[in-house]
Chain A
Amino acid sequence: MIRSGTLILHVAARLLMPLQLLFSVFLLLRGHDEPGGGFIAGLVASGAFALYLFAFGPRATRQMLRVAPQDLIGLGLCLGVISALPAWWQGQPFLTAQWWTIPWIDFKFSTPLIFDIGVYLVVQGSVLIAVLALMEGDSEEVSHD
């Protein structure tokens, strides 16, 4: 197991995590027309949490996350399915992209974005479940010794 508690890792994790999360949101939002999107953004975000995990251990990470990774997956999947539905009200086939412009900030909101957010959450949730399970299994073995 990686020795957590070195000074450089601690400081770097605290500094890098917000930056990485910000970058992941940037990737998520630019995804529709340019390279980016929910999947890669989710990987970047889970990279941020993984860094924190290496520095401070699983318990601190769970506390910081506040929600369980399972909830992220469930929520993401729900968003994914929900994004298929708005086309129904327009009388179009499911999954047809719907675009709305939010007037004050000139932001184009759309069903592909909802879907991307869903993917973002699912990717984060699945990576976190795997990484947390590996770390916790590892530390259990250590404590048995």
Chain B
Amino acid sequence: MNPEVALPILIPLFSGALSLLFWRLRSMQRLVAVAGTAALLITSLWLLASVSRDGIQVMHMGNWPAPFGISLVADLLGAIMVVLTGIIGFAVALFSLATVGRGHEAFGYFPLMHLLLAGVAGAFLTGDIFNLYVWFEVMLVASFALLILGSEKAQMEGAIKYVALNLLSSVIFLSAVGLLYGLVGTLNMADIAQRLGQLEEGGLVDVLAMMFMVAFGIKAAAFPLFFWLPASYHTPPVAVSALFAGLLTKVGVYALYRVFTLIFNQSPDYTHEILLWGAGLTMLTGVLGAAAQFEFRRILSFHIVSQIGYMILGLALFTPLALVGGVFYIMHHIIVKTNLFLVSGFVHRLKGSYQLKKLGGLYKSHPWLAVLFLIPAFSLAGLPPLSGFFAKFVVIRAGLEAEAYGVTFVALLVGLLTLYSMVKIWAEAFWKAAPEDAEPAPEAPSQREQWLLYLPIVGLALCTLAIGLYGAPIYALAEASAAQLMDPGRYIEAVLGTEVTP
């Protein structure tokens, strides 16, 4: 009996239901938000501890044995992702106490936030491909509602692109699941993997692999179907963007990792080659898009796209070292990117704008905030000794070892251009003097609000520093999870409980 496998899904679901029950009591909702996400963080750490101690954890829901029922499976990658979900959920819950307005709370911000976290955790933990689709939908419903909270015109415009493309991806995903079921007659991922290995129709399997790649590629905002992301992420309240930026696209990346290591690992020459091109182009277009932007959150949104490229690069190279780099990159990226969005929210709270042209002089007035911006920003660009340096280093080294020189060069170039974007934000928002025609600053945040704003930013910055400075245990974790990914037999064995004949 290992309740920790299911608790990361049940806790946010329960907190969401509870805060819906308290929809009249604002203070109670806020309390549930903090307590629920804290509980999520604690159980996710518990899960990670038991997975790294006892190996892959499996729970067959309702006691229906695999492959007939739905199994929840936590391998190291899944557990790491859930821990990151817990960290981001907790940080954003604290941050939203100070930034999400009364109106948004009245329309159900907190229940939706919990629902989103449940969807994300469910997607990371499920071992059933149709169940994965369901969690994607849970996430999509919650994120759509969060995206249009407030119903401003810009939000609607972004939301239409967001929903249209994500629904398209869901349809592709669903039809691919249907075809796959027709081919092998099972939905349990471990069982699928086992049966696909015995199948001889390689061509059809490759077609299915491509369908999954397109579906998850849209979710992950990979080239060429990424444009829903920069069109929508800068429109909702900042706590929502931070949550999306940290978690949503990474669920797509996680799904790619899961499917292309466990199920579709037959013809890596073909599928992973396409992934490699996708990764390179994703990095390049994302970073070039960011260079042309002058809005704080839009720059960051384009950088999500370019960073997704690095993670997919790790998967596409498909060597043990590359997977280590990819997993490490995901860990580093989720924390850093959320933190940058939180900083942008703080800046907006102080100055009332996201437009770089209207900002300025923040270094003078808030030197600590400037330092707290520099840590994640330089980490994103990959400067030593921060977490991003090691993440990029491992991926690039793997690229050189795999002799993929072209894409490695692109990765290095993108790092440089990322630095350019970050320095641009630094120079415009923090360094230059405040412009003459600046909008009158809104009322300064109270002491208590300042605490709530600083606390998550400082916490995440410390995480970044810890990954950078004490990287060895985290690197070991990434290495162990990559070893599990490279050996799908262990996953299959854990779920089905049988010896696997390769």
Contact B59 A70 (CB under 8 A): no
Contact A77 B13 (CB under 8 A): yes
Contact B63 A96 (CB under 8 A): yes
Within 8 A of B (CB), among A30-55: none
Contact B60 A77 (CB under 8 A): no
- State A110–B61 Cα separation when bound (angstroms): 17
Within 8 A of B (CB), among A46-83: 70-71, 73-75, 77-78, 80-82
Q: Which residues on A sit within 8 Å (CB–CB) of B13?
A: 77, 81
Q: Does B16 sit within 8 A of A, measured CB to CB? A: yes
Given contacts A78-B17, A80-B17, A81-B10, contact A93 B1 (CB under 8 A): yes
Q: Does B62 sit within 8 A of A, measured CB to CB? A: yes
Contact B17 A91 (CB under 8 A): no
Contact A95 B62 (CB under 8 A): yes
Write the nearest CB–CB distance from A124 to chain B, whole angstroms.
Answer: 14
Contact B23 A74 (CB under 8 A): yes
Closest B residue, CB atoms, query A75: B21
Count of interface residues, chain A, beta-carbon cutoff 8 Å: 21
Within 8 A of A (CB), among B115-133: none
Contact A77 B20 (CB under 8 A): yes
Contact A74 B20 (CB under 8 A): yes
Within 8 A of A (CB), among B1-52: 1, 3, 6, 10, 13-14, 16-18, 20-23
* Size class of the contact patch on chain B: 10 to 19
Contact B21 A71 (CB under 8 A): yes
- State A77–B22 Cα separation when bound (angstroms): 13
Given contacts A84-B10, A91-B1, A94-B6, contact A74 B61 (CB under 8 A): no
Contact A74 B10 (CB under 8 A): no
Contact B63 A78 (CB under 8 A): no
Closest A residue, CB atoms, query B11: A81
Q: Which residues on A sit within 8 Å (CB–CB) of B60?
A: 93
Contact B61 A95 (CB under 8 A): yes
Q: Does A9 sit within 8 A of B, measured CB to CB? A: no
Q: Which 8 pairs, one residue from A and one from B, show the smallest C-beta to C-beta distance?
A: A74-B21, A77-B17, A74-B20, A96-B63, A95-B62, A78-B17, A81-B14, A94-B6
